[in-house]
Amino acid sequence: METVFTPFQSLGGGVLIGLAAVLLMLSLGRIMGATGILAGILAPASSSDFTWRVVLLTGMVAGPVVVLLVTGALPEVSVPVSTPALIIGGLLVGVGVTFGAGCTSGHGVCGMARLSKRSIVATLTFMLTTGITVFVIRHVIGG
């Protein structure tokens, strides 16, 4: 499997995520952790709490439509694993989010920006784990 690094698209995406996180904090005083936002839709504190969460998640899901309108083509997506592997991966992510008290976007983008010690440790942990996983899969197992 080849990984293609796209520095300009990556930078653009990072800028948009950071801008969205800052705007959400400035406008509503909320932290943009995707998992917490989704969980708040399932059990909203109020109707206004539900509304901003739905609007934000709709914007996340609508991204490919914007790409289609701008470029005339949907982004190419290739998932090189089986459906059972995706399900197992999703369950593992759910367990990690639960034990880690947040997701990568919440800890890595927003928590680190607020200098949260918990988020710094969480981010270092998932970055180290990711590096080890990629090394094992690519160089030990040979995937």
Q: Residue 86 contacts by C-beta under 8 Å, 6 or more apart in sequence?
A: 79
In a domain, 74, yes or no: yes
Q: What is the mean pLDDT of residues 86-106?
A: 84
In a domain, 84, yes or no: yes
In a domain, 122, yes or no: yes
In a domain, 41, yes or no: yes
Tally the domains of the chain. 1
* CA dist., res. 111 & res. 118, Å (int): 8
Q: What is the mean pLDDT of residues 82-101?
A: 87
| Confidence (pLDDT) at 132 | 96
Question: Per-residue pLDDT tens for 36-88?
Answer: 888 888 888 888 889 999 998 898 889 889 989 999 998 888 888 899 999 99
Which helix or strand (DSSP H or E) is residue 42 part of?
helix 34-42
In a domain, 1, yes or no: no
| Confidence (pLDDT) at 84 | 93
In a domain, 88, yes or no: yes
Q: Tell me how far the alpha carbon of residue 100 is from its chain's centroid.
A: 14
What stretches of 24-137 adopt beta strand conformation (E)? none
* Domain span holding position 61: 7-141
